[in-house]
Structure 1
Amino acid sequence: MISDIILIGPKTTGKSTLGELLAQKLGIPQCSMDKLRWDYYKEINYDEELAKRIREKEGFIELYRYWKFFEAYAVERLLSEHSNCVIDFGGGHSVYEDDELFNRVQRVLESYNNVVLILPSPDLEESIQILNERNGGFVSKGFDFNEHFVKHHSNHNLAKFVVYTKDKTPEETRDEILQIVNI
């Protein structure tokens, strides 16, 4: 049984803030994917120049697609290297359109009891609206990332628990997480 707490969910849901609060309360390290991802990507030949060309020519949606293989690898690497900590994933690290990549991430997460999906509200449309207000909307070539990350099956299928942040302070949300996880 692995007792790490892993926070997943769309961009700007508060994963990093909650990760810091949980780590402080529990007296364990916080491990943030956003701080480590690029090092992991480079291990398997992430090409920054290619990524730049993709974004310039084809837009962020294609850059997002280019990242997916690297994101799955980063999840595997992060979890193999870090334990006894609170881990917060980047917004895209728990959403996979490709079944093979999703299955890889699902397999590596299945032994973790405390995978917590953070969303603003149980009402998915309201969650999208709240995220749009927080981050100004996240759309590329008509593809709405906030909507996609909120509604896509990946986050929901990977999570063992879901916690909603609407009308709660970060500390109240932290305490709710501590009440439901198995540590």
Structure 2
Amino acid sequence: MKSDIILIGPIGAGKSTIGGLLASKLGLIQYSMDKLRWEYYFEIGYDEELAKHKRESEGFWGVYQYWKPFEAYAVERLLSSHNQCVIDFGGGHSVYEEVALFQRVQQALAPYSNVVLLLPSSNKDESVQILNERNQYVPDGKPNVNEHFVRHASNYELAKLIVYTKGKTPEETCSEILNSLFGGRRVAMDIGK
């Protein structure tokens, strides 16, 4: 099993912030999917004009569906290219409606023992409310993408550990993850083996 740490969860859950703290404490490099995704998407023919057209004609959910195959590829690509590191996924890179895409991501993550889902609360309604406040989203009666990410089964099926962040500083959350995964021992030299 690979012991790299992979953080998943909805937008605004703290993945990049916590990933940076974990990488610093462990002496590792952090790779953020949000910084690498477009490079990977373009490798397999991502079409900006088509994405723009889908957004204009079908709204966000149309472009969201267009992104999904590219997101699955980006997960495979990032995991195959980097090791001995901390990785934080984008909010959608761990949520798939299409079974075949979910299975690809599930297979890519199977060798990793430290897949951590970050959520504000164990209560899904409370998580959605907290994330809406963080992301300055005003509910309009329709589920937003983050609510979809919180309620969808994909994150829960991929995670090996769930950590709730409500009432904790990023440093406290980082310490909780390290204690849960490694029992508090110094592990920088063991990561990635």
TM-score normalised according to structure 2 size: 0.91
The residue aligned with 1:56 is: 56
Cα offset, 1:181, TM superposition = 1.4
Counterpart CA distance in 2 for 1:138 and 1:98 is: 28
The answer to whether residue 165 in structure 2 is matched with residue 161 in structure 1 is no
**Which amino acid in structure 1 is aligned with residue 76 of structure 2?**
E
The residue aligned with 1:128 is: 128
The residue aligned with 1:118 is: 118
**What does the per-residue CA deviation read over 1:148-171, in whole Å, with 9 as the maximum and x for residues that have no partner?**
101100000000000011000000
The answer to whether residue 105 in structure 2 is matched with residue 105 in structure 1 is yes
Counterpart CA distance in 2 for 1:140 and 1:17 is: 29
Count of aligned positions: 183
Alignment map for 1:8-27 (pairs within 5 Å): 8-27=8-27
The residue aligned with 1:45 is: 45
Percent of paired sites with the same residue: 66
CA separation of 1:138 and 1:102: change in aligned 2, threshold 3 A:
farther
Cα offset, 1:137, TM superposition = 2.4
Counterpart CA distance in 2 for 1:4 and 1:29 is: 10
Counterpart CA distance in 1 for 2:30 and 2:70 is: 22
Structure 1 stretches (4+) deviating beyond 4 angstroms? 138-141
CA separation of 1:26 and 1:10: change in aligned 2, threshold 3 A:
same
**Which amino acid in structure 1 is aligned with residue 100 of structure 2?**
E
Cα offset, 1:138, TM superposition = 7.8
**Which amino acid in structure 2 is aligned with residue 163 of structure 1?**
V
The answer to whether residue 144 in structure 2 is matched with residue 144 in structure 1 is yes
Cα offset, 1:140, TM superposition = 9.1
CA separation of 1:117 and 1:31: change in aligned 2, threshold 3 A:
same
The residue aligned with 1:6 is: 6
The residue aligned with 2:29 is: 29
